[in-house]
Amino acid sequence: MAYLALRGSGQVNGVSRLHGRVSRRIFQPLFPRWPEAEVPVQHVTNGVHVPTWDSSDADKLWTESCGRDRWRGTLESVPCMNSVSDENLWEFRRKGSQSIVGFVRRRLAQQRLQQGASLEQISAAQSVFDPQCLTLGFARRFATYKRPNLLLHDPERLARILTNRQHPVQLVVAGKAHPQDYDGQAMIKQWNDFIARPDVSKSAAFLADYDLDLTSHLVQGVDLWLNTPRRPWEASGTSGMKVLVNGGLNLSELDGWWAEAYSPEVGWAIGDGQEHGDDPNWDAYEANELYDVLEKQVIPAFYNRDQRGIPSGWLKMMRTSMVQLTPRFSSNRAVREYVEKYYLPAAAAYRCRTESKSLLGIELTNWSKSIAQQWSNVRFGPVTIREKDSQHVFEVWVSLGKLDPGDVEVQLYAEPRADGAVFRQKMTLVQAPPGSVGDSLLYRASVPATLPASDYTPRVIPFHPNASVPLEAVQILWQH
């Protein structure tokens, strides 16, 4: 179905930068002989509708600092949050902590009542969690690739983290598995078994019936959002985006949206930015890395207080995250990017192709047919390379058969640089000496001699000013 959709589309995009890159690899077979970097899949990273996910306290804070129209317009940045004092910002977060503790207690008591628990167990729900503790949130569909049990790799180490008397941590886990996903159900059971342990029962809770109401309370109240997918299986993810407006920070695998959002100033990350498949040894490595980040970075940052009793380092990271990431991963930016990058150009292209009784559409159809019928007759002739004024000067003879020179573009191509940019330069059609190489045409291009001439390869691709190549014409010819 994905192949069918791509063949019928005028534009194609992934939902994060990494997803676009992975998708180019997936769809490479549809564009044989084209470099992966030029497979026509771009990206627009997902965003969340910020007003849907902010708490009433967050709404008040943002309104007082940035005005009521803060989520309208271009939303390039919201530096106004920098004016909020540490005292007010910390008080705002403490209200969030109090809110999530109250919610967890109510939800857990209701859950136990529905499960037929004893009155003692139901009453015990009122003593779980502490508003003064660091609260971690982990909520998502329980699927194997999301690795929801990575935190349980070493249950004893996790238990020590949660029950540390000097710097205690509390964890709320929520999610559900597909009725036919028995692996997912087994992972939920593993969590429930761990949380039932007497030593952690007051510091961890699993909340069933994962829904929008539960999600809202979690993203509004937790201090840190955890995410542990197996790279590169998370196309984007949005749950971590929802905590941003509420002052929550993220600790995540470098996958999906976090692969482009992360910097040491706004949160924490695990992984090396590479893909390791489902290697259990790598899962173990990342589990230990996750524990290390929590023990050595996250928890100290939260509990390192100044003379006012405020974690100034934590608040600095929190403020930077709110200012930089909230607008960047909002639906305002995502919708605007779709409109400017895809919808308006697509609408303009459609109008051009259909006006004047679809004159351009008919022209493009005939061009495409001609390219398909005549491409086998396109040939490279001799290629010469000379040095002139610190330039490589390429001269290439090309036979186009019955195609018009305007139907193609002859280019010099070089492999992508470290930043991923592809080098391609149009070669200029020059006047060929009479009787030189039969019906061949001479093309010339000069490039700086900073790279060896062998790094460049001439090629011929279809060209029409109104066509999307290679989406609408997949042909390509390389000079060997």
Q: What angle do CA 370, 399, 33 make, to 5 degrees?
A: 70
Residues in the chain: 480
Which residue intervals of the chain bear CATH 3.40.50.2000? 50-329
DSSP per-residue letters across 81-105? GGGS-HHHHHHHHHHHHHHHHHHHH
The percentage of residues in the chain with a pLDDT greater than 90, rounded to a whole number, is 88
CA 164 to chain centre: 34
72 pLDDT band, cuts 50/70/90, is: confident
The domain made up of 50-329 has a fold known as: Rossmann fold (3.40.50)
Whether 167 shows a pLDDT value over 70: the answer reads: yes
Whether 70 shows a pLDDT value over 90: the answer reads: no
Residue from 246, 245, 228, 327 nearest 287 by CA: 228
| Mean per-residue pLDDT, 403-409 | 94
Window from 3-7, 66-70, 151-155 with minimum mean pLDDT: 66-70
The Cα–Cα gap between 82 and 88 comes to: 12
pLDDT tens digits, one per residue of 286-336: 999 999 999 999 999 999 999 999 999 999 999 999 999 999 999 999 999
433 pLDDT band, cuts 50/70/90, is: low
Residue from 41, 43, 38 nearest 17 by CA: 43
The domain made up of 372-478 has a fold known as: Immunoglobulin-like (2.60.40)
Residue 437 has a pLDDT of 47
Whether 438 shows a pLDDT value over 70: the answer reads: no
